[in-house]
Amino acid sequence: MKFENITGSIVAMITPYHGDGSVNFEVLTRLLERQIQAGTSAILTLGTTGEYSTMTHEEDATVVAHTLKVVDGRVPVIVGSGSNSTATQLEKSIEYQNMGADALLLIAPYYNKANPEGMYRHFASAADAVHIPCLLYNVPGRTGCSIPVSVVERLAKHPNICGIKEASGDMSYAMKVARLVGPDFALWSGNDDLTVPLLSVGASGVISVFANVMPAMCRQIVEDYLSGKQAQAAAKQLKYLELINDLFLEVNPIPVKAAMNMMGLNAGPLRLPLCEMDAGHAAKLKNSLQEAGLL
């Protein structure tokens, strides 16, 4: 399925685990079907929310294979192939392309960071090696570095780089990146609380944690905005803003997995170094879920 030019809500999928920490493929199947039935525009697997950083390469590949099998071409599947090692990113990008991924998500090189030229080469090397679309992923709160706007501008001209997931929370940065939006380069909100603001400057939609909890509502917010119902979209975002914010009371995906477990969706435990929520935070999150009519 072609990924280019889609709009809407892309879910950043969690990875459900059994109590022993192994991947729960039965629950993963149910969660994928839930997303598709809710009208999710695309599935992102092995993103930050999917805890890929604590999974082995073999587990990564099995989750990708299972996701592709279940989705079966009904919506595009984006796979996070990023790494702070450019060589590893290149290897995984080619592997996931060959498995059938529709697009790739490439993260900025965390820990070692890189100067602007190194940052450019890090992304371009993967985009040069594959023929499926690549999305940049700017999330400095995780990586310790932001992709310079000048580098985004260069990469936006690459024929195989189709957009950016912008998750800095910095509207000034996002506005500068928004000037690069065009037929071949899309801006995606990576922050659920900024979906409507980024839509207002030309974003195509959101790559969402919130969509794990309320997939149909997340989709509707974007659809309303893009169909000219901006006031309705803003009202919906504001209505659920407390719940959205509470999904980030602690580092993602701790709260969203807690919320899904409260809702009976059986997301399971986290992998260390992530662990269960503080009791006070969990109580606040539960209250927000109740107010949203989810419990």
Active site residues: 137, 165
Q: Are 224 and 216 in contact (CB under 8 A)?
A: no
Written as one letter, the residue type at 147 is: I
The torsion of the CA quartet 247, 40, 183, 107, rounded to 10 degrees, works out to: 50
Strand partners of residue 33: none
Peptide linkage before 148 cis (omega within 30 of 0): no
Three-state SS across the chain?
A: CCCCCCCEEEEECCCCECCCCCECHHHHHHHHHHHHHCCCCEEEECCHHHCHHHCCHHHHHHHHHHHHHHHCCCCCEEEECCCCCHHHHHHHHHHHHHHCCCEEEEECCCCCCCCHHHHHHHHHHHHHHCCCCEEEEECHHHHCCCCCHHHHHHHHCCCCEEEEEECCCCHHHHHHHHCCCECCEEEEECCHHHHHHHHCCCCCEEEECHHHCCHHHHHHHHHHHHCCCHHHHHHHHHHCHHHHHHCCCCCCCHHHHHHHHHCCCCCCCCCCCCCCCCHHHHHHHHHHHHHCCCC
Lookup: tokens for 103: 């697009």
